[in-house]
Structure 1
Amino acid sequence: MKIHRPHLLKHTFNVVNRVRQTASIAGLSALRVAKGEKPDAKLLKETFEQLGTTYIKIGQFIASTPSLFPREYVEAFQDFLDQTTPLSYDYIERVLMAELAMDGQTLSDKFAHIEKKPLASASIAQVHTARLHNGDEVVLKVQKPGVETIMQTDLGVLHAVTKLLELLMPSMRFASIAPIIDEIRLRMLAETDFIAEAQNIRDFQQFLTVSGNTRVVGPEVYDELTTRRVLTMSRLYGVSMVDESAMRQYCDDPAQVMADTLNTWFASLMLCNSFHADLHAGNLMLLTDGRIGFLDFGIVGKLKAESWRACMGMMQALQDNDYQMMAHHMIDMEMTNMRNQVDEVALAKDLQSMMQSIMAEDKAFTSGIPFNTKEQADDLNKMMLEIVDVGKRHGIHFPRDFALLTKQLLYFDRFMRTLAPDMDMFSDKRVAMLGQADTTLIA
């Protein structure tokens, strides 16, 4: 016990210090509101940035999910997708020395050059470019200090607050906020192990090779220069896939690029050990050679093939207004606690009643016009909340990785509005959700 006591005391001190820091920052923001400042998206964004890692990740989710959050908040958090306040290079150098410079070696023995100015500074890590002695251009993903303790503490506090809110305001329970916080905690903590992320990248590379996919690439990992806190990868050059004008320098048809991205991701659901569950605007790029780059494999999910088939069946049934089949697929998806006790007929009737009510209120939804206005995005948000409400009444729950899959589909919503506003991912002929992947899987 004595051996572990100093570590325990240090951890306890860090936790207490983080709670104090969070309370101080939140208190200053509350004081700004008390003095008359408007509690708007700008203030929330500034507060989240001061609070750091955990809240920046939440801000990224807001920025990448325009169908769920008001436009002013989506726009305010855009900066969180690519850049946060950078750390000094002195800290980065100390981590690199501790992780990579063994047996009296120096960083000069490992790298010909390391750029001191960061390429990007995200919530969990900071990225610097470097060059190896053999001429290879690489990027170094270096973990920020105390990330795991900060996230554990922040998410513990958030969990307690949401539980209290659900107790004081029973009407909030429909949103299942506390379980979402639990889910975020599990996923974000998994991001702190770069050895696991390196394996996720290797799995994706193998999937691309086996499926013969030459349109998409991921970075190559340098295993000898990778640890839990440092990930060294080949550098990819390109432009953001939400900048259509920049993309047209390297492609003729941004909509086809979007289709290729969707086809690759849908195929990975069935043919890869895991699927990328965090493809927001900062993690996808069109490379200068015209290929598509998938970046940052810290958050991945796994979904059974039969669950994905059921998901697609449910979406198709929704488009066909076949609510009996929609209910059937929801049950097949293993979204129920006790599937044999679910009344499929009653579920179908409730789904039909819910959808007809929404369609009656919003004619744009029934006409199939893309959700490219704030009003239509609000209607999509309403539809999703209604589905959650109906599902809960019938004992339906959403499996953990299905929630990740749904979140990623919402991320794609943003790309499609920019690159292919007329594309419907569930019916466009350029998008193959099941057919090709199914055949390969069976073979």
Structure 2
Amino acid sequence: MKIHRPNLLKHTFNVANRVRQTVSVAGLSAIRVAKGEKPDAMLLKETFEQLGTTYIKIGQFIASTPSLFPREYVTAFQSCLDQTTPLSYVYIEQVLKEELAIDGKRIDDLFAFIDPEPLASASIAQVHAARLHNGDEVVLKVQKPGVETIMQTDLGVLHGVTKLLEIMMPSMKFASIAPIIDEIRLRMLAETDFIAEAQNIRDFQQFLSVAGNTRVVAPDVYEALTTKRVLTMSRLYGVSMVDESVMRQYCADPAQVMADTLNTWFASLMLCNSFHADLHAGNLMLMTDGRIGFLDFGIVGKLKAESWRACMGMMQAMQDSDYQTMARHMIDMEMTHGGDQVDVVALGNDLQRMMQAIMAEDKSFTSGVPFNSKEQADELNKMMLEIVEVGKRHGIHFPRDFALLTKQMLYFDRFMRTLAPDMDMFSDQRVQMLGQSESELENPTVIDVSQ
């Protein structure tokens, strides 16, 4: 493909400018260290925030992957998970023009209205409400301008920064840094490819169709208005599933809504190409027609069916306070480097001490305290860190997708404490943790929600 000279010059300038910015920020941090400031997690977090998009995403990766990073860094980078400052619509409109205003078309030809005020803003993309000329209400997920060049440049020099990171984080030397960088690269590339996200949505919709599930819905993708940098979807209307009283405007039983949500997600582990791995309060919606909306499929995971069954065995053992069985199921999940080298009794004893300590400290979450997303995230992170600490001592490693699954399970636990405090995920007859049975799949029960 021929590259026009002006575009090549512009790209080269942008790359050079990005490298200059990176060197400048890193240099200022180095000066702070030279003046006696401790090269700790907070300094690294502040440096990453100044470096922008790519490093904020790396910070998010650190914050959400306690299986790879030391506790103090996971804790320090929690603020990177918050929504970012939105960009002016002028910059978003430019991306829309570059992606959609082609073959003589104008943005006004495609959309009757686009709200310049964003519905949400993250490090990579911004979401805006819009309306098509046929009256359809949609949302536009638009990649922020320059993100691709910035990320490619940053990822290209990241290997050169690896040595510096090892000096600043000596406790990371327990793991090879190269696989961590590769994992960061894979995650980032996946999140910036909205065509891949559109496919994740279609996979989920196909799963819902095969299962005969009409209680749950995902937004429809407008293929003609979707590119690698712009994702156009139908707009869903409803309320976030965090307040039982508000939910009762659109449903009679919030606990049943929770059960339907759980059953859908558990079944997707067995029957869908991938599972939604970021189903927090902002990505779940009770719609005004009583259905449940699953939103934002940018982060998905994959897990072998046998690993999921072992996971369920482990969780059931945890529910039964049978920590020796819990330890054996952890080995069955292939979470260890060598199952025959693990002392099952010692692992079980450590798990018991850990869980008893967590339950003793977790009483505030069952005392009627209102749902608080920041509090929730902190507690989930703390629990994951404790699990990881036990695992490390016994040679256990946590594959990326299992970590995603575990954190999602913990999110559900917090949802249930808010919306269905009397529901037991492991024993409630409304919840099917291993998905639908074969007979149910052959003869799915279709629930009509249009009444």
Please give the range of the TM-score, normalised by the shorter of the 2 chains.
Answer: 0.7 to 0.9
1:349 aligns with 2:345: yes
1:93 aligns with 2:90: no
Residues 442/418 of structure 1: CA separation in 2 closer, same or farther (3 Å cut): same
Moved more, 228-237 or 277-286: 277-286
Aligned residue pairs: how many?
433
* Equivalent position SS for 1:343: helix
Counterpart Cα distance in 1 of 2:421 and 2:157 = 40
Letter in 2 for 1:247: M
- The corresponding residue for 1:425 is 425
Deviations 1:8-63 (A, max 9, x none): 8766654553354356557779999999xxx9999999876654434554676799
Equivalent of residue 386 in structure 1, options 384, 389, 394: 389
Share of identical aligned residues, percent? 75
TM-score by length of 2: 0.77
Q: Trace 1:5-404 onto structure 2 (pairs within 5 A).
A: 13-22=13-22, 51-57=51-57, 79-80=82-83, 84-154=84-154, 164=164, 166=166, 171-173=171-173, 179-180=179-180, 182-337=182-337, 339=338, 342-343=339-340, 346-358=342-354, 364=360, 380-381=383-384, 383-392=386-395, 396-404=396-404
Moved more, 406-415 or 113-122: 406-415
Counterpart Cα distance in 1 of 2:167 and 2:359 = 37
Distance apart, 1:439 and its partner CA: 5.9
Q: Which blocks of at least 5 consecutive residues in structure 2 are unaligned?
A: 370-374, 444-451
Contact 1:15/1:149, CA 8 A, preserved across alignment: yes
* Equivalent position SS for 2:425: coil
* Equivalent position SS for 2:92: helix
Contact 1:350/1:390, CA 8 A, preserved across alignment: no
Counterpart Cα distance in 2 of 1:134 and 1:428 = 45
Residues 24/109 of structure 1: CA separation in 2 closer, same or farther (3 Å cut): same
Letter in 1 for 2:114: I
Residues 251/64 of structure 1: CA separation in 2 closer, same or farther (3 Å cut): farther
Aligned-CA RMSD value: 4.6
Counterpart Cα distance in 2 of 1:242 and 1:40 = 36
Distance apart, 1:235 and its partner CA: 0.5
Distance apart, 1:432 and its partner CA: 1.5
Distance apart, 1:418 and its partner CA: 3.5
Contact 1:242/1:419, CA 8 A, preserved across alignment: yes
Contact 1:238/1:287, CA 8 A, preserved across alignment: yes
Residues 106/153 of structure 1: CA separation in 2 closer, same or farther (3 Å cut): closer
Moved more, 315-324 or 106-115: 315-324
* Equivalent position SS for 1:91: helix
Residues 47/257 of structure 1: CA separation in 2 closer, same or farther (3 Å cut): farther
Residues 357/98 of structure 1: CA separation in 2 closer, same or farther (3 Å cut): closer
Counterpart Cα distance in 2 of 1:415 and 1:160 = 42
Contact 1:128/1:141, CA 8 A, preserved across alignment: yes
Q: Which blocks of at least 5 consecutive residues in structure 1 are unaligned?
A: none
TM-score by length of 1: 0.78
* Equivalent position SS for 1:112: strand
- The corresponding residue for 2:449 is none
